[in-house]
Chains A and B, each alone.
Chain A
Amino acid sequence: MAIAVKLDDMLHDRRMTLTELADRIGITLANLSILKTGKARAIRFSTLDAICTALGCQPGDILRFEPGQEEI
């Protein structure tokens, strides 16, 4: 999929770990890892809402469209 998840950069900027983010938004670390590694097939608006609230960012800050980055 050409949609890339830039969660790592945002977490680094905010000095937050994935575990902390998972705790704050109330989803499992396993699910958040699926999102971070780009293995997710879909993301709920509620999850996006929670992530943007916790990180104080816009959806566009964590999701990018990168043509040519097709998933195998």
Chain B
Amino acid sequence: MSRPASSSAALPIAYVVLRILIVLNWVMSAAILALLVVSPNEQWIMAAFKLSPSPETERLVMGMRVIAVLGLAAIPLHYAALKRLLAIVKTVRVGDPFVAANASRLQAIAWVLFALQLLSLVIGAIAKAVSTPAHPLNLDAGFSINGWLAVLLTFVLARVFAEGALMREDLERTV
């Protein structure tokens, strides 16, 4: 079977990028953990962000702590999605992507993306609640139409793969 030239380069790149992202995800978890370990030291935090002690800044620091905890909760979710995506790429590389396992993997990835979007909404809401005009907390979190479209697209793609796997099974046993 002939394959398009672009796919031969895209797959190894995707494989390497996913491996790197998995490592970066663990690095990120270590960074967030470190942040949580030092964050009880309020003086250090205040000095780092040039904040003067006040009820508002204390609320800001508390909000940042909660966001860090939520960020930590996102780490296993990222890992679950990346690990499954890597497994899908592996099946594409061996030329057998339309299998029921990939449909389940995509379904799981879709739920993970859904959970991440919910997490993003919560983080965005917290950031908005603890922000003050003097110390705005600008985070790339909150409602994202692209993010929710990705969730929808992945759920649809999971169904497409499930149908594809069934058709493939039928074709395999057609003489």
Contact = CB atoms under 8 A, between A and B. Distances in A.
Interface stretch (B32-40, B51-59, B167-175): B167-175
Nearest to A43: B175
Contacts of B170: 41-42
The interface size bin for chain B is under 10
Contacts of A40: 173-175
Contacts of B175: 27, 31-32, 34-35, 40, 42-44, 47
Interface in B18-40: none
Interface in A27-65: 27, 31-32, 34-35, 39-44, 47
Interface in B156-175: 169-170, 173-175
Nearest to B172: A41
A41 B171 CA distance: 8
Contacts of B169: 41
Interface of B: 169-170, 173-175
11 contacts: A31-B175, A40-B173, A40-B175, A41-B170, A41-B173, A42-B170, A42-B173, A42-B175, A43-B174, A43-B175, A44-B174
Given A34-B175, A44-B174, 17 more contacts: A27-B175, A31-B175, A32-B175, A34-B173, A35-B175, A40-B173, A40-B174, A40-B175, A41-B170, A41-B174, A42-B170, A42-B173, A42-B175, A43-B174, A43-B175, A44-B175, A47-B175
